[in-house]
Amino acid sequence: MTAPAPAPAAPRGGTALVARLDNVGDVLLAGPAVRAVAAGADRVVMLAGPRGRAAADLLPGVDRVIEWCAPWIDPEPRPVAAAHTDALVAAVRAEAPSAALILTSFHQSALPLALLLRLAGVPWIGAVSDDYPGSLLDLRHPGDWGAPEARRMLGLAEAAGYQLPPGDRGAPAVRGPLPDTAHLAGPPGYVAVHPGASAAARAVPRRLAAATVAALAERGHRVVVTGGDRERADTAAVAGGAALDLGGRTKLIELAGVLAGASVLVSGNTGAAHLAAAVGTPVVSVFAPVVPASAWAPQGVPVRLLSDQHAPCRGTRARDCPVPGHPCVSGLTPDDILAAVADFTGDPT
């Protein structure tokens, strides 16, 4: 029996489109794949959703970003409408990419976007797909869903014929220079705490976060609490009178600068953890196992994972904890987090 012919590699040069349509952390983890594509293309257009757009703007190798909300991916999708899909087709057609890579998570289908890109005239498309793609894909790559997410996406780019340039170790990164954020956070050397996450199951419980901040301050650490505009009430409660509250006061690029000045970040499984890794800051992660740490733990820096990785919520992809009492993290204490922080910073007392 004759083996199937290998899929043709993507054409070199020209404009390449890379799509990752979900959140900040997902887009940051796509960075190594984007840099590999940039090394083989004249120009890279990144297609990102509204929740990940700011991260796409930070990726080295990206020349232009198209923002578009995918109704099969966004957790609060708009109704499907011809005007919305037509706008994407027109925007992509205007860029005239000669190739496109569709980067997805394990629970997302690449095929709806592949269909729209075909309608936009993209001649070569590669993606990971478990489903039969018909004529929608030129490269149907198998998904190694347990592998680190950045490595898995880079694997698709490599299968398409793109390679990282010499000396690039394939870790998430952001473009510099970062802004000076001393006016926000003070001089470098503080502990950053980011309690929130886009899904409640992956956040640091408020009570644990507040007690940890108080304990860190009592031990002599300067502590900075970060969060988005919608998290102001949470960051204020967590900071209390013991820490500097930056909730809602930083754009993503400023948050990158704040995290670059931290000696360590304490967070849940969230985009801020991947941003810290991208700027070289170690991470202590209260990592609920609703998604596997093998795929989604921060990559490229020293990391300490706290929580029970064999808890009943393991692998459920739940946005809210499906088990009463949040048992994977409810047994953690501030002392557990302080001990992990001390591994990276020492004990100021």
Q: Give the per-residue pLDDT at 198.
A: 84
**Does one domain contain both 242 and 146?**
no
Strand partners, 50: none
Residues 326 and 254 both lie in one domain: yes
Residue 329 shares a structural domain with residue 189: yes
CB 91 within 8 A of CB 66: yes
**Nearest of 149, 148, 130 to residue 140 by alpha carbon:** 130
CB 137 within 8 A of CB 126: yes
131 and 272 fall within a common domain: no
Residues 138 and 225 in one domain: no
Q: Is residue 69 part of a domain?
A: yes
Structural domain contains residue 7: no
Is 164 domain-assigned?
no
Domain termination residue (choose one: 159, 193, 223): 159
Range of the domain at 247: 182-345
Same domain (yes/no): 82, 223: no
pLDDT at 271: 95
- Residue 65 is assigned to a structural domain of this protein: yes
- Check whether residue 199 and residue 340 sit in a common domain: yes
Comparing CA positions, the residue from 87, 67, 71 lying closest to residue 79 is 71
Task: Give the end of a domain, one of 159, 174, 203.
Answer: 159
Per-residue model confidence (pLDDT) at position 7: 66
**How confident is the model at residue 280, as a pLDDT?**
97
SS (H, E, C) 323-339: CCCCHHHHCCCHHHHHH
What pLDDT is recorded for position 156?
Answer: 97
Please tell me whether residues 328 and 213 are part of one structural domain. Answer: yes
* 90, two tokens: 């027109």
Let me know if residue 112 belongs to a domain: yes
Confidence (pLDDT) at 349: 61
Residues 296 and 247 both lie in one domain: yes
Residues 254, 124: one domain?
A: no
Q: Domain of 334: which CATH number?
A: 3.40.50.2000
Please give the tally of structural domains in the chain. Answer: 2
Which SS3 state, helix, strand or coil, does residue 254 take? Answer: helix
Within-domain flag for 169:
no
Residue 175 in any domain: the answer is: no
Do residues 193 and 299 both lie within one domain? Answer: yes
Give me the residues of the chain with pLDDT under 50, please: 1-4
Cis amide leading into 177 (omega within 30): yes
- Same domain membership, residue 134 and residue 96: yes
